[in-house]
């Protein structure tokens, strides 16, 4: 179903229907996509464009005879809209960056597990329980990385007014909190096995990471206590930037503590472990980073779809 430019008629496009450049149409995809679209074109011109959502555009080519071609084919899997949200839903992995990222993360996680349990030698002092080090430390570093990434995106929002930076900051901090929970759980388990205590309040390293975790956990309380809009985005961005100060303090506390209950992996002299241990650690770190990146993009795509669905509902109300 089509309409004259600017009319915004609601309709449903059949499979393989093409959107001419000089049409303006609001349409619903096939049920498998479970989302609505708002598509409009600036009308006839030398080079038309079709716009989706928050100003994302796809070029609309014109043939040598001037006849209107198409901006995108709308198939049952809603490729155009899902690609705009950051997810390609093509059937082949090479056409789907997110699927490729997920596959890489899965391979790295599997390789990491294999190396931890079947390759790396058993520690002479702590025995088998030391293997949790290859999970605990990479998970903690991943939490630090995504807290920092969330703060960076918050800065981009305040400084450059970058579109979507507020949402990316939120999702990054969410991933940081998830991996922060895993850090606390694996750390407590390792402490209980090695030292007989689940937690030691006298250790500044533990307390500082807990403070960092609780600070960013409170970020969500702030975000959902304010109505959506520019004010909430600015407030959350400022809050996220204040929290970034705790990241280097928590990280450096491990090196400055009097009692080194945490292992120091890197020093000025190089890695403080054997070659096989260091290789396993690097693979585990890459696996955790890839896993977090995959979860980040999946959640971000879902949030974008939800945001654009709300925009359409408000537009049609």
CB 297 within 8 A of CB 86: yes
How many other C-beta atoms lie within 10 A of the C-beta of residue 3? 14
How many other C-beta atoms lie within 10 A of the C-beta of residue 102? 19
Identify the pLDDT of residue 181: 96
3-class SS at 267? strand
Identify the pLDDT of residue 176: 96
Identify the pLDDT of residue 307: 83
Tokens of 116: 């931890």
Alpha helices in 224-274 (DSSP H): 230-243, 246-256
What's the whole-number mean pLDDT along residues 28-36?
A: 34
Identify the pLDDT of residue 74: 33
Q: What domains, with CATH codes, occur in the chain?
A: 9-84 (no CATH), 94-316 (1.20.120)
Identify the pLDDT of residue 38: 36
Give pTM, 2 decimals. Answer: 0.68
Q: How far is it, in rounded angstroms, from Cα 272 to Cα 116?
A: 17
In the chain, what percentage of residues exceed pLDDT 90? 38
Q: How far is it, in rounded angstroms, from Cα 290 to Cα 102?
A: 8
Identify the pLDDT of residue 263: 60
Q: How far is it, in rounded angstroms, from Cα 37 to Cα 53?
A: 7
pLDDT tens, residue by residue, 78-99? 334 433 444 333 334 455 788 8
Q: Who has greater pLDDT, 33 or 128?
A: 128
What are the residues whose beta carbons fall under 8 Å from the beta carbon of 54, sequence distance 6 or more?
163, 164, 307, 308, 311
Q: How far is it, in rounded angstroms, from Cα 283 to Cα 236?
A: 34
């Amino acid at each position: 179903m089509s309409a004259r430019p600017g009319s915004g008629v609601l309709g449903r496009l059949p499979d393989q229907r093409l959107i001419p450049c000089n049409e303006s149409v609001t349409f619903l995809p096939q049920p498998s996509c479970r989302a609505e679209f708002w598509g409009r074109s600036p009308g006839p011109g030398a080079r038309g464009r079709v716009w989706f959502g928050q100003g994302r555009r796809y070029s609309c080519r014109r043939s040598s005879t001037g006849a209107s071609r198409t901006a995108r084919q709308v198939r049952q899997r809603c490729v155009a809209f899902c690609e705009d949200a950051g997810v390609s839903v093509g059937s082949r992995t090479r056409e789907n960056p997110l699927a490729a990222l997920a596959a890489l993360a899965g391979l790295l996680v599997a390789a990491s597990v294999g190396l931890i349990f079947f390759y790396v030698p058993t520690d002479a002092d702590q025995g088998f329980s030391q293997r949790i080090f290859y999970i605990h430390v990479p998970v903690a570093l991943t939490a630090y990385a995504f807290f920092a990434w969330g703060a960076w995106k918050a800065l981009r929002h305040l400084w450059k007014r970058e579109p979507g930076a507020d949402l990316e900051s939120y999702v990054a901090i969410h991933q940081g909190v998830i991996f922060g929970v895993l850090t606390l759980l694996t750390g407590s388990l390792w402490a209980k096995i090695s030292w007989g205590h689940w937690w030691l309040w006298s250790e500044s390293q533990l307390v500082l990471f807990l403070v960092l975790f609780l600070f960013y956990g409170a970020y969500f309380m702030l975000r959902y206590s304010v109505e959506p809009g520019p004010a909430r985005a600015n407030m959350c961005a400022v809050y996220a930037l204040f929290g970034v100060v705790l990241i280097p303090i928590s990280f450096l506390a491990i090196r400055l503590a009097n009692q080194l209950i945490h292992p120091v992996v890197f020093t000025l002299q190089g890695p403080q472990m054997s070659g096989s241990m260091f290789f396993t650690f690097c693979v585990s770190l890459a696996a955790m980073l890839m896993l977090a990146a995959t979860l980040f993009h999946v959640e971000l795509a879902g949030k974008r779809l939800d945001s654009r669905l709300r925009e359409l509902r408000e537009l049609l109300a």
